[in-house]
Chains A and B, each alone.
Chain A
């Protein structure tokens, strides 16, 4: 399974756009890139998933360059409630296949 590398922590202020980049140099052809958010004492929550180019949903955008060796999660106009740990995971995304978690990025949003 492809290993991921993310910044350990990031700080931001309310209303700013936050971009968290993840490196996955050994990503395989069948692998998808998935981002999860986790609050203390809660299970991870799905944010967004993509294979290539750009994916956008109601909460975030995911940018994936052509070589797919990295990806960037973009959170527009963060609020205090976005303070959490964000995990970038790479895997086939198929039923029966577990996802392996890296260390994640702790995002702290201040007012």
Chain B
């Protein structure tokens, strides 16, 4: 079964509104989670590293004020897309390592459509 869960799986919103996507580690604690974005027929692009209890680390070119990341507990990280625009429409995927090393588990993904 899934060890990393995302919610919602699909969301449609109007341009200018904000949308929050949740990422939960189901049976383990994750001090670090990662957020990726994937456009159609493209690969996953790392957006940011979410650190429990501290500020997220954003990849070059990703606007931290637009993509707000909160990692308030060891099992939950949230990504808020603020003032969404149609170009923010994408598939957002989170991930986390279970345990100290090895396999990186991915969530099911969240499809965001901005009208």
Contact = CB atoms under 8 A, between A and B. Distances in A.
Determine if chain A interacts with chain B: yes
Interface of A: 34, 36, 41-46, 49, 87, 93-104
Interface in B39-76: 43-46, 49
B100 to A, nearest CB: 5
A41 B97 contact: no
Contacts of A104: 43
A46 B104 contact: yes
Contacts of A96: 31-32, 49, 97
B108 A94 contact: no
The winner among A87, A94, A95, A97 for most chain B CB atoms within 10 A is A95
Nearest to A98: B34
Interface of B is mostly: strand
Interface residues of B, number: 27
Given A43-B109, A44-B106, A101-B45, A95 B101 contact: yes
Given A95-B99, A96-B32, A41 B109 contact: yes
B57 to A, nearest CB: 9
B89 to A, nearest CB: 13
A88 to B, nearest CB: 11
25 contacts: A34-B104, A36-B106, A42-B108, A42-B109, A43-B6, A43-B107, A43-B109, A45-B106, A49-B102, A49-B103, A87-B44, A93-B102, A93-B104, A94-B97, A94-B100, A95-B32, A96-B97, A97-B97, A98-B34, A98-B95, A99-B104, A100-B46, A101-B43, A101-B44, A101-B46
